[in-house]
Copies of this chain bind each other. A is one copy, B any other.
Amino acid sequence: MILSISSRAEYDLPAQTFVLLQIEPALQGATHRVLEESLQTTPTPRTELWNDLYQNPQRRFMAPLGLFSFNFLARIECQPNAPLPLDAQELPPEQIPAECMIYTLPSRYCQSDRLTNMAMSEFGLMTPGGSRIATIANWINGRVTYQYGTSDAMTDAFDTATSREGVCRDFAHLLISFCRALGVPARYVSGYCLELEPPDFHAWVQVFLGDGNGGGAWHNVDATFNGLRPALVPIAFGRDAADVAMTTFFGQGNLHEQVVNVQKESD
């Protein structure tokens, strides 16, 4: 399908401020292709584009004092979001590609080491595979309450396991942690989502599962929703939210307004 995507925001900067911006999808991903795009930053600082440790595109620039805004527009061709294949396989470590291994390790917000016993006591006896991962996502969806303002930038999966409240970021961190605790590579994805209410940036999870023929692939899983969002376009992958902030202001950046919009242009 073809998606029309826009995101823009306006900030007040009390001083010249160095900024990192990570809102542009890679031009070509596993399930999407950017057809057209434009990024405008006003006033127009000279932005440097580079690929971070995980190969995500990231803008770096110095924004002058005063009003600062970015405005990103894109037309993107993408495949519909596919449900997690329930018969996909959890792979033994020797079959996990070496470069996926880092996604089995604990990270800032996903302390899978501290959640191992909980994962084992809740999910340890289930048959491994896509169906178990789907069950975990459902378990989280049914036991964690979605509520703005109940979590913040310090909240991690160890907290959410007990506090049972948060936003998409927290749902993702907890799902990632349980998956890693069971030995399944799981990574955090920030991106654009079709039919998100209210419209906003979104965060979800990808797990690496085997196809039963010696191969494997990353699959989307989203504990925030019961059903399937029809399309997801990744901006950046990382170990958790610490790695993929949409905006980083080295100094004060007072947000005035942020608007994200994702529309389906055609099937």
Contact = CB atoms under 8 A, between A and B. Distances in A.
Interface of A: 18, 20, 48, 50, 52-53, 58, 60, 62, 92-94, 98-99, 101-102, 105-108, 111, 113-115, 117-118, 120-122, 142-145, 153-154, 158, 161-165, 183, 242-243, 250
Majority secondary structure, A binding face: mixed
Given A114-B162, A162-B118, A243 B101 contact: no
8 contacts: A48-B98, A93-B250, A105-B108, A105-B243, A114-B163, A118-B162, A122-B143, A158-B162
A93 to B, nearest CB: 4
The 7 closest A-B pairs by CB, nearest first: A117-B164, A93-B250, A18-B94, A121-B143, A18-B93, A106-B108, A121-B164
Contacts of A48: 98
Number of copies: 4
Nearest to A161: B162
A173 B115 CA distance: 19
Contacts of A106: 108, 242
A169 to B, nearest CB: 14
Given A18-B93, A62-B94, A114-B162, 10 more contacts: A52-B98, A53-B53, A60-B94, A94-B250, A105-B242, A106-B108, A107-B242, A113-B154, A121-B142, A121-B144
A102 B162 contact: no
Contacts of A18: 92-94
Contacts of A165: 117
Contacts of A52: 98, 101-102
Contacts of A144: 121
Contact of A107 (B58, B62, B107, B142): B107
A243 to B, nearest CB: 7
A102 B163 contact: no
Nearest to A105: B242
A164 B113 CA distance: 13
Contacts of A162: 114-115, 117-118, 158, 161-162
